[in-house]
Structure 1
Amino acid sequence: MDSLNVLWQSTGLANFEVGQVVMMLVGLGLLYLAIAKKFEPLLLLPIGFGAILTNIPVAGFSQAGGVLHYIYYVGIDTGIFPLLIFMGVGAMTDFGALIANPRMLLLGAAAQFGIFATLFGAIALNALPGFNFTLQDASAIAIIGGADGPTAIFLASQLAPELLGAIAVAAYSYMALVPIIQPPIMKALTSEKERRIEMKQLRHVTKLEKILFPLAVLMLTIFFLPAATPLVGMFCLGNLMRECGVVDRLSATAQNELINIVTIFLGLGVGSKLSAESFLNVETLGILALGAVAFSIGTAAGVLMAKLMSKLSSEPINPLVGAAGVSAVPMAARVVNKVGLESNAHNFLLMHAMGPNVAGVLGSAVAAGVLLALVG
């Protein structure tokens, strides 16, 4: 009988807790969104599978000696994985639209307003029972508004590692829901006449300009916000490899093999933090709610800034492009283009929207640097 009892105690059935079952269902839900709905599948799939693995009783995937424990410690706790992702994103980014129309930087900056508005919202939640967010926690939560997954993971790993799972899931979930969340906000803040505005074709950008741009961005970051240089520096390195034309093999590796490998491990590492004891609490619901508010405010702020610029500019600016200031690249730009075409079949805004879209990537990195410098 003792042998049978020992055998029974070694099975999952004997050790499952309700919270673990719930979190495994959450993991299956993420897999469903990734596979059936194609919502950010490259990250939601490994995150969902990691959530299932980490909640398996007895297996010890996330405990010392477990594979997920070491993946998290080596790549996320140290901040290396998000930085490598940023290098790959830089290698895939074309700054031509932003260089051709530098004013779009203002739209990328305006969209970051959601981050700082949500910072105060997170602190205000402490007035409710069950919430106890520190300033570091609130800063990590607020970065969700930048709609930049790697930046959210990087800042959370530095300021609030215990909230990393909820923050990462919220960030990537809202990025995946860009086509659903943004259009109603864009249409509510603009008139049909404004959405029909056609913008002038962008000028040609030379190769020299594209080479000098990442170097100039890096130097400005070094001078004025050194805390942001880990993210901005890796992003600029990847972009320089793309544009210089002499290291095509390195650029191709950063865009493909490297970013794909890191994405797998990053997703599994984030999934390892979706354990029942750290995820199933009232604070997680607060994070998900605040993330939605942050993203919505960022979208609205970008549109309103574009409306203001349109009134002050001698050249026509379609206010819709302001919504692309959140850094969900290139999905936000595609949504802008789609909404614009609904009002005017000849209104192609994709390239114009890419300007604020890539500006939003830089903006979220700078915002993370500001928060890290202030509360880190």
Structure 2
Amino acid sequence: MDIFHQFLDTTGFANLTVGNLVMILVGLVFIALAIIKDYEPLLLVPIGFGILIGNIPASDDMQLGVYDSGSVLSYIYFGVSQGIFPPLIFLGIGAMTDFSTMLSNPKLILLGAAAQMGIFLTLIGAMYLGFSPKESAAIGIIGGADGPTAIFLASKLAPSLIGPIAIAAYSYMALVPVIQPPIMRLLTTREERLIRMKPPRHVTRREKIIFPIAAFLICTMIAPGSLVLVGMLFLGNLLKESTVTERLANSARNAMIDIVTILLGFSVGASTDADNFLTKQSLMIFGLGALSFAVATASGILFAKLMNLFLTHKINPLIGAAGVSAVPDSARVAQMVGQSEDPHNFLLMHAMAPNVAGVIGSAVAAGVLWSVLAGQ
């Protein structure tokens, strides 16, 4: 009986806390949203299951969690805590991204830049709430709707906040179809939503090859801190557009990015044990993340309306919302909202321009913040 009672004391049921139950419920909600609503299932399923694993209580001497030195989970989480996984994901994103729409209409890059306003306004708000400049910078990146970038910058500036920042960033990425449409309809008129844009011009193979090399040099000269993310992004794109390394590009955009996505999502989820996650700081990060995302969406739309004051061929302001770098979901949302007014208005190809520009913009913004704050 003593052995039996000792066994009972080691079970998860004996050590389960209310916080663990809350986090397990959150993990189940993530999995349900992914399967039932099809909200970013490639991200939410591994994250949700990781949350379940991270909140099964075990004896202190068993060394099972991501924060326990020498555990299997800690070795997987090493790719998150040291910022290894995000650049590998950027390599895959670059290998699957077509920058043609952006190159055919370069002024749409400005919409991707305008959407980064959410990052810097949220940084100010986080500092006002008492976060340090480094923590505020890591929180602000959530507004770029770019999970890998948020994780990368958090690993460099605020390692203790990686869990809530990553969960917040990926949650808002998954909820793009829910969050963005009300803001888009609020800030545009029906006449603006009905605007049809000129078809994009043809982009030559030479332009596609020159672009990743030239853009890499320009971006990294401006913000050396973006070297790793931008470098991997444009390397992946060059592998794709050169057409002589198709095997490498295919591996980067399929097998490799899938493997890294599983490991990143799973280990991020496993890092959210209740003791470390259910804090006042985490709640504030989620609130600031929502504000950041809303401001980024609104900034892109309002800047498109501003540009229309000076353009002969008007821009549909809906595509400004795609300036956040949730690729390609925010571009699809622009298409969906536009077609709700006019089923024959096809905005997707135009929205992809600020969408991919937002990926570059968020990486450069992260590089700027890291460069400025690294020594503080």
TM-score (norm 1): 0.96
Does the CA-based 8 Å contact 1:68-1:268 persist in structure 2? no
| Corresponding position of 1:148 | 146
Structure 1's unaligned 5+ residue stretches are: 127-132
Question: What whole-Å deviation, never above 9, does each CA across 1:90-114 have from its counterpart, x for those lacking one?
Answer: 1110000000001011100000000
What's the offset of the Cα at 1:283?
1.3
Distance in 2 (alpha carbons) for counterparts of 1:26 and 1:65: 27
1:162–1:278 CA contact under 8 A, matched in 2: no
| Cα contact 1:144–1:170 (8 A) shared by 2 | yes
Code of the residue aligned with 2:18 in structure 1: it is: V
Q: Could you tell me how far 1:173 is from its partner in structure 2? A: 1.1
Q: How many residues align?
A: 369
Separation in structure 2 between the aligned mates of residue 188 and residue 9 of structure 1, nearest angstrom: 56
Quote the sequence identity (%). Answer: 57
Q: Which residue does 2:334 correspond to in 1?
A: 336
In the TM superposition, what is the alpha-carbon distance from 1:258 to its structure 2 partner?
A: 0.2
Residue aligned with 2:129, SS: helix
Matched, 1:362 2:360: yes
Q: Would you identify which runs of 4 or more consecutive aligned residues in structure 1 move more than 3 Å?
A: none
Question: In the aligned structure 2, how far is the partner of 1:184 from the partner of 1:241?
Answer: 38
Q: Which residue of 2 aligns with 1:235?
A: 233
Partner Cα separation in structure 1 for residue 26 and residue 198 of structure 2: 46
Q: Which residue of 2 aligns with 1:16?
A: 16
Residue 64 of structure 1 is matched in structure 2 by: 69
Where 1:103 maps in the other structure, the secondary structure is helix
Looking at structure 2, the residues matched to 345 and 41 of structure 1 have their Cα atoms a distance apart, in angstroms, of: 27
* More off after superposition, 184-193 vs 198-207: 184-193
TM-score (norm 2): 0.96
Residue 232 of structure 1 deviates from its aligned partner by 0.3
Matches within 5 A, 1:156-175: 156-175=154-173
2-side partners of 1:180 and 1:16: how far apart?
A: 33
Matched, 1:192 2:196: no
SS of residue matched to 1:312: coil
Residue 122 of structure 2 is aligned to residue 98 of structure 1: no
Higher mean alpha-carbon deviation, 320-329 vs 7-16, is at 7-16
Gaps of 5+ in 2: none
* CA–CA distance in structure 1, aligned partners of residues 112 and 129 of structure 2: 27
Per-residue Cα deviation, 1:264-311 (whole angstroms, up to 9, x for no partner): 110122112201111111111111111111000001100011011111
Matched, 1:107 2:111: yes
8 A Cα contact 1:47 1:267, kept in partner? yes
In 1: Cα distance, 2:171 partner to 2:235 partner? 28
Secondary structure of 2:39 counterpart: coil
User: C-alpha root-mean-square deviation of aligned residues, in Å?
Assistant: 1.2
Q: Residue type matched to 2:99 in 1? A: F
Give the alignment partner of residue 278 of structure 1, picking from 276, 279, 284. Answer: 276
Tell me if the contact between 1:54 and 1:68 (Cα under 8 Å) persists in the aligned partners.
no
Measured in 1, the distance between the counterparts of 2:3 and 2:99 equals 66
